[in-house]
Amino acid sequence: MTVQLIAMQLFSGLALGAILIMVALGLSIIFGMLGIVNFAHGALFMVGAYAGLYVAGLTGSFWWALVLAPVLIGLFGMLIERFLIRPLYGRSPDDPLLLTFGLGYVLVEAVRILFGTDGIPFSTPAALRGVVNLGIGFFPLYRLFVIGVVLAVLLLLWLGLERTKFGLIVRAGSADPLIMRVLGVDISKLWLVVFGIGVGITALGGVLAAPMRNVSPEMGTLVLAEAFVVTVIGGMGSLAGAVIAGLIVGVAVSMTSLFAPEMATIVMFALMALILLVRPNGLYGRAAPGL
């Protein structure tokens, strides 16, 4: 086992981490602002991948799929917020969770009807095929591209949150929704947009993952569990936490698959259990409200 091999595995761990960040980001954004856990998250990830498949089929271009599918599914997310989730505000916090679980159930079945139950291969766009020599070894170009997109999304999110008026409102709103009412900001519009953005990012994750994972109606089930692991480790609602936790989990999984491949999936859940023992609120989590 050479140093080179380990370095290479470390790098693929970071790449896997980038995908996990993408998987968890939408969940974390929605929780941070609206305080609800979207249990349809995995299903929307899958729907995003299918939307990408559909748009790519229509236009013949991966690039259109990458742009249009997240926008379309983001708009669909806004419809979900407006008509299914909004009636539940003010009720038990469990209700949106139950509803989105049912929604995930419905979405999976709807996709089975529209696209069939079998997995569909999604080919890597020609321009992104092949491998790149990183000096420590060869690495698939497409994975590098994914890392690039994730970095761009994170940068945009950061700029959007820190440098725009909208971002200011979002940050203030997630700190104290009451202040928004006092200031006269229409919080329901804000929640609508934030939910749409969260779902859109989730769908983008689905499109990006499509060439790496087989596109199937069940592809979202693992995604939901992965996203939970990352957000629980990172701390709910914390973007920085999601990034750090994504990278930690990615590297842990990648390193484990080098030494004990059969343990690779198990290790991320075990890691979460360990973090819970030490820091029940996650690495960057705020203390749970309500003493």
Partner 1 sequence: MSVVRNVELAPPSSRRGLAVLFPGANRWRVPLSVLTLCILPWVLPSQALAVNVLIYGLLAVGYNLLFGYTGLLSFGHAAFFGAGAYATGIAIGTFGVNWFVAMVVGLAVAGFLATIMGMLAIRTRGIYFSMVTLALSQLVYYTALQASSWTGGENGLRGFTVSTLSFPGFSLNFLDPLVKYYAITIVVALALWFVSRALNSPFGAVIEAIRENETRARACGYNVERTKLLSFVLSGILCGLAGTLSAMHLSIVPLDSLHYQTSGLIVMMTLLGGAGSFFGPFIGALAFLLMEDIFSLWTTNWQLIVGVIFILFVLYLPKGIWGTLISWGKGR
Residues that bind partner 1 (CB under 8 A): 31, 35-37, 84, 87-88, 91-95, 97-99, 101-103, 105-106, 108-110, 112-113, 221, 224-225, 228-229, 231-232, 236, 262-263, 265-266, 269-270, 272-273, 276-277, 280-281, 288-291
Smallest distance from partner 1 to CB 255, Å: 17
The count of residues in the chain is 291
Q: Is 120 helix (H, G, I), strand (E, B) or coil?
A: strand
Residue 68 vs 199, nearer CB to partner 1 = 199
Pairwise CA distance, residues 112 & 47, whole Å: 11
Residue 64 vs 101, nearer CB to partner 1 = 101
Smallest distance from partner 1 to CB 209, Å: 18
For tokens 């290479």, what's the residue?
8
Residue 127 vs 266, nearer CB to partner 1 = 266
Smallest distance from partner 1 to CB 30, Å: 11
Residue 34 vs 147, nearer CB to partner 1 = 34
Two tokens, residue 220: 């979202």
In contact, 37 and 27? CB cutoff 8 Å? yes
Largest CA distance in the chain: 62
Smallest distance from partner 1 to CB 68, Å: 26
Two tokens, residue 271: 């890691």
Residue 95 vs 255, nearer CB to partner 1 = 95
Pairwise CA distance, residues 92 & 3, whole Å: 53
For tokens 């236009």, what's the residue?
59
Smallest distance from partner 1 to CB 211, Å: 25
Smallest distance from partner 1 to CB 213, Å: 17
Residue 56 vs 244, nearer CB to partner 1 = 244
Pairwise CA distance, residues 214 & 119, whole Å: 6
Q: How far is CA 181 from CA 142, 184, 289, in A?
A: 45, 5, 20
Two tokens, residue 195: 């939910």
